Amino acid sequence: MNGGPSGFQNAPVTRNLVIACAFLTVLFVARGRSASLGFSYQDITQRLRFLRIIVSTFAFSSVPELMFGLYLLYYFRLFERQIGSNKYSVFVVFSLSASLLFEVLALVFLKERTTKILASGPYGLIFASFIPFLFDIPISSRIHVFGVPFSDKSFIYLAGLQLFLSSWKRSFVPTICGLLAGSLYRLNVFGIRRIKFPQFVASFFSRFSRSDSQSSPPRVSIRRNEPTFVDQHLARSFGSTTTSIPEPPESSIAMLVSMGFDSNSARQALVRARNDINVATNILLETQTR
């Protein structure tokens, strides 16, 4: 299993997160200050340490954590491609904020009965992403190794387990808080899944994705036979069809297939959506609910 086409195409928010986490981690590790990352009960009671809490939300305290953390962030870019950068930004802010709130409450409640310093890094976002990964991403293949069943999702779970074990006791609370935050998002608490940022925020992130955009593919003429259900739905949504349309890139088809859609339906949706991956995804999702 993969997260669709390689690179950060249609995933500018994920790219910025990966860059920020890598930069802050390398900066603190190179300067020998990684031990100062993470926060404790004392930090949340002193306003002067608020900046340390923010930095600890994004910077990992060790290179092994960085490797597995960045891999999982990079893989979970498929969610940004699926719901769009705007809604994914809401998911990121909600997951980090909710998990941070849960961590603060845990420190206040447990105090000396828990680890003094929690693990640093975007644990809340990463483990919140495991909730939609568990329920919304289908298994496409299964294998048996020495009689033990594995699926194409098993490696992602193993990477998450390795990240959890990297700091062990320090990462227990952030992991649980991240899972709770992801569960709240999935349950649509406060209607969070319908919230979008203002247009100027979406435009800001779209500027970062321009460098990843590819030149427009050549336009070719495609002849169709009898229209499928997707064709009929698209005809109603966008009006009459045209015969001169852009040929869908194989990378876009592969990305939709990685989300669990049929390759033929994905191609037809992209044709009708003029290769707009977000529009094609919405069309396919709507057809499945009918």
For the chain, what are the domain ranges? Answer: 12-208, 219-289
Please give the average per-residue pLDDT across 199-203, as a whole number: 61
Q: Which two tokens stand for residue 226?
A: 């009898």
Question: Which of 145-149, 175-179, 245-249, 258-262 reaches the highest mean pLDDT?
Answer: 175-179
CA dihedral 211, 22, 118, 62 (to 10 degrees): 160
Cβ-Cβ contacts under 8 Å for 148 (sequence gap 6 or more):
none
Q: Compute CA distances 111 → 45, 115, 167, 197, 199, whole Å.
A: 12, 8, 19, 36, 42
Query: CATH number of the domain at 219-289, please?
Result: 1.10.8.10
Report the Cα 83 to chain-centroid distance in Å: 9
Q: How far apart (Å, rounded) are the C-alpha atoms in residues 248 and 218? A: 10
Q: How confident is the model at residue 5 (pLDDT cuts 50, 70, 90)?
A: low
- pLDDT at site 219: 41
What is the rounded average pLDDT of the residues 204-231? 46
Of residues 51 and 143, more confidence is placed in 143
As a residue count, the chain comes to 290
Here the tokens at position 83 are 């719901």
pTM as predicted: 0.70
In whole angstroms, give the CA distance from residue 171 to residue 75.
21
Quick one: average pLDDT of 128-153? 87
Q: How far is CA 49 from CA 20, 24, 65, in A?
A: 20, 17, 23
Per-residue pLDDT, 187? 95
* Residue position matching structure tokens 């321009």: 210
| Structural contact between residues 126 and 178, judged by C-beta atoms closer than 8 angstroms | yes
Mean pLDDT confidence for 246-250: 78
Q: What is the CATH architecture assignment of 12-208?
A: Up-down Bundle (1.20)
Strongest mean pLDDT among 59-73, 114-128, 241-255: 59-73
Percentage above 90 pLDDT, the chain: 34
Q: Which residue has the tokens 């990477």?
A: 159
Confidence of residue 149 (pLDDT cuts 50, 70, 90): confident
Contacting residues for 129 by C-beta, under 8 A, at least 6 apart: 72, 76, 79, 95, 182
State the average pLDDT over residues 85-104: 93
pLDDT at 46: 65
pLDDT number for residue 186:
94
* pLDDT confidence bin for 126, thresholds 50/70/90: very high
> 201 falls in which pLDDT band (50, 70, 90)?
low
User: Sorting pLDDT into bands at 50, 70 and 90, what band is 215?
Assistant: very low
Q: Which two tokens stand for residue 91?
A: 């998911």
